[in-house]
Amino acid sequence: MGVLNALRRGIVRGADRMAEFTSKRGSRTHYKGRGAQPTGVLTSSRKFVPIQAMIPQFVVPDLEGFRLKPYVSYRTPVGTEPAVTPEGLFSEAVAQQIQKDFEEGSFDKEQLEKYGFEPTQEGKLFKLYPKNFI
């Protein structure tokens, strides 16, 4: 048998060992989930107790007077706003305050927290890195 023929036979007849072993494969007794987050606790008597805090809830502010709709009209001109960059956000949110303080003379390198600087992400509910919210 030539090399190419053997290769072809291997391709056609060989099993795919690198495929993902999902819950659809395996025997009847094989139990595997698909990665859903648990919403409760399984007790020793094999009863499932749902915990309200683990069930996700949508927090939606009051949409009274909210005029934006799901879709945008085709007549809107494209590219009217520049993309938001970290430099742009800094210059809009923080830079002016820093400049004002520097001109007054009250700018202190050790007290950057009043401009929004966070030395660590410890103790925060929504950490930016490693990102713990979606």
The residues that touch other proteins, with contacts defined as CB under 8 A, are: 10-11, 14, 16-19, 59, 61, 67-77, 80, 89, 92-94, 116, 123, 125-126, 128, 132-133
Separation of alpha carbons 116 and 119, rounded Å: 10
The radius of gyration of the chain's CA atoms, rounded to the nearest angstrom, is: 28
Rank residues 34 and 75 by Cβ distance to other proteins and give the closer one. Answer: 75
Rank residues 34 and 69 by Cβ distance to other proteins and give the closer one. Answer: 69
Residue 7 CB, shortest distance to other proteins, in Å, is 9
Rank residues 79 and 105 by Cβ distance to other proteins and give the closer one. Answer: 79
Rank residues 36 and 59 by Cβ distance to other proteins and give the closer one. Answer: 59
Rank residues 86 and 105 by Cβ distance to other proteins and give the closer one. Answer: 86
Residue 51 CB, shortest distance to other proteins, in Å, is 13
Residue 132 CB, shortest distance to other proteins, in Å, is 7
Residue 24 CB, shortest distance to other proteins, in Å, is 17
Helix (H), strand (E), coil (C) string for 10-58: HHHHCCCCCCCCCCCCCCCCCCCCCCCCCCEEECCCCCEEECHHHCCCC
Q: Phi-psi region for residue 113, left (φ > 0), alpha (ψ -120 to 50) or beta? A: alpha
Residue 96 CB, shortest distance to other proteins, in Å, is 11
Separation of alpha carbons 47 and 30, rounded Å: 20
